[in-house]
Amino acid sequence: MAKFANILETVGRTPVVKIGKLAPPGVDLYVKIEAFNPLGSVKDRLALGIIEDAERTGALKPGHTVIEATSGNTGIGLAMVCAQKGYPLVVTMADSFSVERRKLMRFLGAKVILTPAAERGTGMVRKANELAAKNGWFLTRQFENEANADYHSKTTAREIVDDFAGGRLDYFVTGFGTGGTLKGVGRVLAMERPETKIVVSEPADAPMLTSGEAQPRRDDGSATASHPAWKPHPIQGWSPDFIAKLTGDAVAAGMVSRVITVVTADAMQCSRDLAQKEGIFVGTSSGATFSAALRVCADSPKGSVVLCMLPDTGERYLSTGLFADIPADMTPEEIAIAG
């Protein structure tokens, strides 16, 4: 068994697993399970990449406080990195995100500042900027920091290229939050596997790439047919109410071949199906990406090979609608079994 000097050395090298029961016949469907990262999500990668880049450049020095706006997974990854390296961490987060996320960050030693749900991603980013400027803290800027995409180019992309070396890889399916995975992996595939088409999944209730517009920040009565009010969507970590710079870069560079919108019900059903039919325990964003991957499979020629990113663990969603019909007490069927 490998030995590591510290927990940060275990980030990355996540497994690619072939899907059996849920994959349509004639197509090879694989998933890259980012829940195998030490704190359970793909955001462990960007957290480590950004902090170590800031240390190299001198932007972050011992004793500095780190701050970031997050829907949860980036904050949890940063809390791990900062705990190991000894930096105080403050995160800002809209209070609509799951309770277990803020508890995990606090358990890891971070301070969590909640912002109003109605202000969505813009509100929590604004608050982080304010606190960073006021206190002289290091703002990680996950949505625009090139170290985010760079780390995915150096790790995630290299893992994918190596795992599919000598074989087909027709489609890479991913969601987007910061755009770090999309840009970082996309540019490497464009150079080394140009035949691989990149498909992006996004919520049907916040179709920013499909519409080409950021979502309105709040329903203030000013909605029109061409500019509807935003709809809250439970695919946490996806589609804040702005298009992140890294995402915009990837789109502008022509990396994206297709965008697929996914309704929440399909995302949740796919999460449950992965758990109950494949034994793969992931969250709603993973279910949404997998739903898009199934549509890619359905539209693909026989023999195609599809890789789908699964960003995080299902444990981030215990207090959300994903588990709404999962009882804590025994069901009638279980009572009957118990006798």
Among all residues, which ones are annotated catalytic? 43, 285
Three-state secondary structure call for residue 231: coil
* DSSP letter for each residue of 257-271: EEEEEE-HHHHHHHH
Q: Is the dihedral of CA 265, 270, 271, 273 positive or negative?
A: positive
Compute CA distances 66 → 70, 229, 270, whole Å: 13, 34, 36
The answer to whether 96 touches 232, Cβ cutoff 8 Å, is: yes
b/e 299-333 (16+ beta carbons within 10 angstroms → b): ebeeebbbbbbbbbbbebbeebebeeeeeeeeeee
59's tokens: 């932007």
- 89-94 sheet: strands from edge to edge: 111-115, 89-94, 66-69, 138-139
Which residues in 147-156 are b (16+ Cβ under 10 Å) and which e?
Answer: bbbbbbbebb
Residues 191 and 231: their CA atoms lie apart, in Å, by 37
What is the 3 state secondary structure string of 146-179? HHHHHHHHHCHHHHHHHHCCCCCCCEEEECCCCC
Q: Would you state the structure tokens that stand for residue 273, as one six-digit string? A: 């199906």
